[in-house]
Amino acid sequence: MSNKKNKIISIVILAIIIFGAYYGVMQYNKPHVNVEMALTSTKLTPDFLLNDFSTNEEQANLQYLDHVIEINGKISDIDISDGNGIVIFENDEAIGSVRCYLSPKENKKLMTLKAGQDISLKGICTGYLLDVIMIRCIIVKS
């Protein structure tokens, strides 16, 4: 009886390992989204996007997570982290903001931007942790 139980447990563990390896390989080889060429699924203001996440994060995740979206608004602040630019949008919320991490090729354009300037950025929404985070953003117009 014990020998049969060990075989079943071994088969289940092996199946889990195989499934995990398969999933890992599929995620690693997932096609890269070209933000510049991608059609934007949505064009929003920072206030609208932040409000959606702060009122119903679960619904906002379904609607925006891993989608290419375009944000139009005024720059609140510009920062640089690990050599890449970050544009933070103005908003009416007391807590939180929309933070757009620029693609490295946009760094030269970053020097021409300033706080208070209207701008449109396109990028991939990756979630909400008091701030809505967008990555691989490109400047559509400034």
pLDDT at residue 55 is higher than 80: yes
CA dihedral 88, 90, 122, 56 (to 10 degrees): 100
Considering the entire predicted model, what is its pTM?
Answer: 0.73
Rg from Cα positions in the chain: 21
The yes-or-no verdict on residue 33 having pLDDT over 90 is no
Which of the 8 DSSP states describes residue 105?
A: G
pLDDT digits (tens, 9 = 90+) for 89-139: 988 876 788 999 998 888 888 888 889 899 999 999 999 988 999 999 999
Mean pLDDT, the chain, integer: 86
Domain ranges for the chain = 1-30, 42-141
21, pLDDT greater than 70: yes
Homologous superfamily in CATH for domain 42-141? Nucleic acid-binding proteins (2.40.50.140)
Task: Please give the Cα distance from 91 to 76 (Å, whole number).
Answer: 8
pLDDT tens by residue, 78-93: 988 887 889 999 888 7
Inform me whether the pLDDT recorded for 70 exceeds 80: yes
